[in-house]
Amino acid sequence: MSAYQDGLLREAVALAPSAVLRSLADTAADAAERPSVRVYLAGGQVLEGVAVRVGDDHGQSVAVLNDPRTGHFGYVLLAGVVAVEVLAPERVQDVLTDGRVAPPVDGEPVSLLALRREFAATPEFPLEVGWRALPDSGAARVNLDRILRGLRDVVGEVRADEMGRQAWAQVQTVTIDHRSGAPLSVEAVPSGLAVRADLVAALPRDVTGELRRQLNVLL
């Protein structure tokens, strides 16, 4: 059993079948990132495909499934769903564990040395990272990479005009800390901004969007 499978078995959350379909439909904009599911209906029918969308029509909740092998679409009333089987669940283990386990790392994660070189502090991006306190895991490096790139993009957006540059000039440092059990957060501190997260757990799928939302509240 792999470390990822072990984590998924330990941390899997009991979800209603309809909640599983809703969560998987919201996982990513690209349906190719979602695993296929088998949906068992009260009448005995079984449908298989990728959860594309869940919505309401004339007062009834409906799940839209797409079978990538045939291209066929299936429309399922959630009220008639009695069970859902998730194929290749490791791909969405962050969803199935309510964020307790990060998605598997594809390929070799970036090294800390590469991150330190690429994200060296500059006057425009006064970054301070607790490098020595980082967990020694590929998931932590992947998550840190996502946060750093998201921050850099959002800071670039903030500094796109003179008003934004003046607001950003008040930020003396941007610290990034690993905090076990902490969700991704951006807080104002006396020296500037503090970004905290559990780097071995799951981050929001849209890290950049979440950082943008929180920074816009603070600046």
Tokens 């390929």, residue? 107
Mean pLDDT to the nearest integer, 6-30? 84
CB 187 within 8 A of CB 194: yes
Instruction: Output the 3-class SS for 59-122.
Output: CEEEEEEECCCCCCEEEEEHHHEEEEEECCHHHHHHHHCCCCCCCCCCCCCCCHHHHHHHCCCC
The backbone torsions φ and ψ at residue 82, rounded to the nearest 5 degrees and listed phi first, read -110, -20
pTM of the predicted model, to two decimals? 0.72
Evaluate if residue 93 carries a pLDDT over 50: yes
Task: Please report the pLDDT score of residue 109 as a whole number.
Answer: 77
User: How far, CA to CA in Å, does 210 sit from each of 121, 172, 213?
Assistant: 22, 22, 5
Q: CA-to-CA distance for 184 and 214, rounded, in angstroms?
A: 10
User: Which tens digits make up the pLDDT trace of 124-156?
Assistant: 999 999 888 898 888 899 999 999 999 999 999
The 10s digit of each residue's pLDDT in 55-65 is 999 999 999 99
Q: How confident is the model at residue 29 (pLDDT cuts 50, 70, 90)?
A: low
Over residues 172-196, the mean pLDDT reads 93
